[in-house]
A and B are shown apart, each in its own frame.
Chain A
Amino acid sequence: MSTLLDVHRGEGSLELQLSGEWRALKMPEIDAALAALDLTGISKVVIVADRVAALDLSGAWRLRELVRQLASQQIQATFRAAEPDQLRLVDQTLSDAAVPGRPASPETTAAVDTHLEVAIRRPLIDIGRSSIRFVRHLRHGVAFLGRVSVTFARALLQPHRLRPISIARHVYDTGITAIPIVALIAFLISVIIAYMSAQQLISFGATIFVVDLVTIGVLRELGVLLTAIIVAGRSGSAFAAEIGAMRLNEEVDALIATGVDPFEVLVLPRVLGLIIALPLLTVIADIIGLMGGALLCRFLLDMPLTQFVDRVNEAIAPTTFWVGIIKAPVFALAIALAGAYRGMQVRGSSRELGRLTTVSVVQSIFLVILADAVFAVLFLELDV
């Protein structure tokens, strides 16, 4: 027998002697003890609670549940002495009375779902809701772009509003500190291209074209694209998280209340900083990429460095480098806007912050690749 409950069986009746600690932390034991009660042929239960060592609100609630459960089985439950005070408190709490500062409330009734509603109305409502949400998001996005543009135009007229110190900080955070990882990735990618293409071209005896592949691939596409994707992961997410955390702390509201435009101090310096930093990072990625190609050609294909340089000069058109680098500011704009926009949308909870940071990274990478595709078509038409 458990230490919480002593059961004395009489003629059609039970006497429950409660003892020990009837506390929230003992709930599993209390449940187990009560579940083990054998109620067959019982019409009357007497509960003796005066020897219980501790009875807290949770314990009292469980006793009240027991009485209710017995009543539903037509078993009369009584207390030997008076009911413990704690039970009265449970009843009082659940009956809307007496807790200070609680207004009397009407009972809320749950709506009952009909079959028709589940089958037809719900999906329709969902489609309608998500369409409206989509249109609203689109409008907010355009409005955000508009505000950034207006803020930028105003800042051009009053250059102190450009906040050069803040821009410099963001160039440092998004550019300088990203150099090691960008350089490493550019190096590895060019080595991979050179190695893969050498394996194929060696069977034609055309290994010299490895140089063309690496040079054009890195300068036109991969240098800028990979740099943008790394920066989207590093800085796009940081923008969203920084601005989002400031929103949660009501810092953005404090800025507005102080008469400072958050677009001017939070969004614009990040956008301009990244527009400066990403092209510079791309130049570094291009240089390291070519160096990686040269290194692999030297050691895998035994191609002297002078021959590599000569071949590079033949392979590239005057526009090849610029075709790559011109994309960088556009990618930077997409990344910075997506990050700042999602950051400004954060409200309410830390979960929102996490969700929108994720969304900002996914969207900025998507936008970068979309813009790259547009550029590809554009350059094809322009024949550069």
Chain B
Amino acid sequence: MRYPILEVRGLVNRFGAQVVHDGLNMEVYEDEVFGIVGGSGAGKSVLLRSVLGLRRAQAGVIRIEGRDITQMSPTQLRTVKAHYGVTFQEGALFSSLTVLQNVQLPMIEHVDLAAHELEELAMLKIRLVGLEPDAARKLPSQLSGGMIKRAALARALALDPRLLFLDEPTSGLDPISAAEFDELVLYLQKQLRLTVVMITHDLDTIFRTCNRVGVIVDRHMEADTLERIVNNPHPWIQAYFHGERARTRLEHPHGA
């Protein structure tokens, strides 16, 4: 039996009368890449926000490395936040800080480091995600879309988390940059033994990187291995994986 590094049980999220999640369950195991899929408005972002502790769910248990974050005080939650990394859809880099300062920010907040260590460790992370050293001194507004995603990834990896959340990591990238980013995520996942949870719409990304996929349908999650989820009889899942755009990938699962 593998150990779930992230476990969600009976999650309920409501906005007024609108029920987004109604008893949603999810497990993510160590060393896997778990993809979260769902239609627009199905509650992918709400799920992510609940798991990150940005939103208190109406009911349910969320365990990160075995500890229930829904019962935690803000101080306890802070220590949990040092153990995972997140990248947001638009990067969410702090626009008034350079890339280097962006990467250093979580380090400064959580660890007491000497100045040269701070500098060199941040630089190590920047180079780890494939950015040039001179990108470190640039402001986010001076970066291209692909570089912003990489810089956001460097910031997410600042404290060497074991658990990494990626929200739409390849959205807004051209197919070549998106494929490069997928390769980067796979490389880092293998090298750093990361557990990756990603929200994505990109079928290429799902087929290239994910071991297991959770689909949010009817306010619940259907999770399975990639091979089995494509044969799930639910109509939305069928439409998603067997639509016109998906068919070519099923025939050639790992690219041409």
A interface list, Cβ under 8 A from B: 23-25, 27-28, 31, 56-59, 61-62, 85, 89-90, 93-94, 99-103, 105, 108, 248, 347-352
Alpha-carbon separation in the docked complex, A107 to B82 (Å): 33
Nearest-neighbor residue (CB-CB) of A94 within chain B: B127
Residues B98-132 near A (CB distance < 8 A): 107, 110-114, 117, 120-121, 124-125, 127-132
The listed residue (A28, A58, A103) touching B112 by CB distance below 8 A is: A28
Is A102 a contact of B132 with CB atoms below 8 Å?
yes
Is A24 a contact of B111 with CB atoms below 8 Å?
yes
CB-CB under 8 A from B121, the residues of chain A are 24, 58, 61
How distant is A109 from chain B, measured CB to nearest CB, in Å?
A: 12
User: CB of B218 within 8 A of chain A?
Assistant: no
CB-CB under 8 A from A100, the residues of chain B are 130, 180, 183-184, 187
Is B141 a contact of A349 with CB atoms below 8 Å?
yes
CB-CB under 8 A from B120, the residues of chain A are 61
Is B113 a contact of A101 with CB atoms below 8 Å?
no
Is B132 a contact of A349 with CB atoms below 8 Å?
no
11 additional contacts (CB under 8 A) given A99-B127, A349-B140: A24-B158, A27-B111, A56-B192, A58-B121, A58-B159, A89-B191, A89-B192, A99-B187, A101-B177, A102-B130, A350-B95
User: CB of B181 within 8 A of chain A?
Assistant: yes
The listed residue (B110, B142, B184) touching A25 by CB distance below 8 A is: B110
Chain B interface residue number, banded: 35 or more
Is A57 a contact of B133 with CB atoms below 8 Å?
no
Alpha-carbon separation in the docked complex, A24 to B184 (Å): 21
Nearest-neighbor residue (CB-CB) of B159 within chain A: A24
CB-CB under 8 A from B158, the residues of chain A are 24
Is A28 a contact of B95 with CB atoms below 8 Å?
no
CB-CB under 8 A from B131, the residues of chain A are 102
Q: What are 9 A-B pairs with beta-carbon distances under 8 A?
A: A24-B111, A27-B117, A31-B117, A57-B192, A99-B128, A248-B95, A348-B141, A349-B96, A350-B96
User: CB of B139 within 8 A of chain A?
Assistant: yes
Is A108 a contact of B124 with CB atoms below 8 Å?
no
Interface bits B188-199 vs A (CB < 8 Å: 1, else 0): 000110000000
Alpha-carbon separation in the docked complex, A31 to B184 (Å): 30
The listed residue (B95, B111, B124, B132) touching A57 by CB distance below 8 A is: B124
Alpha-carbon separation in the docked complex, A62 to B134 (Å): 23
Is A349 a contact of B124 with CB atoms below 8 Å?
no
How distant is B113 from chain A, measured CB to nearest CB, in Å?
A: 6
Is B114 a contact of A24 with CB atoms below 8 Å?
no
Alpha-carbon separation in the docked complex, A101 to B176 (Å): 10
Nearest-neighbor residue (CB-CB) of B113 within chain A: A27
User: CB of B65 within 8 A of chain A?
Assistant: no
Alpha-carbon separation in the docked complex, A105 to B95 (Å): 26
CB-CB under 8 A from B30, the residues of chain A are none
Alpha-carbon separation in the docked complex, A99 to B177 (Å): 14
Alpha-carbon separation in the docked complex, A205 to B144 (Å): 76
Nearest-neighbor residue (CB-CB) of A107 within chain B: B133
Is A24 a contact of B141 with CB atoms below 8 Å?
no
How distant is B229 from chain A, measured CB to nearest CB, in Å?
A: 27
Residues B171-214 near A (CB distance < 8 A): 177, 180-181, 183-184, 187, 191-192
Best-surrounded residue of B128, B133, B157 (most CB of chain A within 10 A): B128
How distant is A34 from chain B, measured CB to nearest CB, in Å?
A: 12
Is B187 a contact of A24 with CB atoms below 8 Å?
no
User: CB of B160 within 8 A of chain A?
Assistant: yes
The listed residue (A93, A105, A351) touching B96 by CB distance below 8 A is: A351
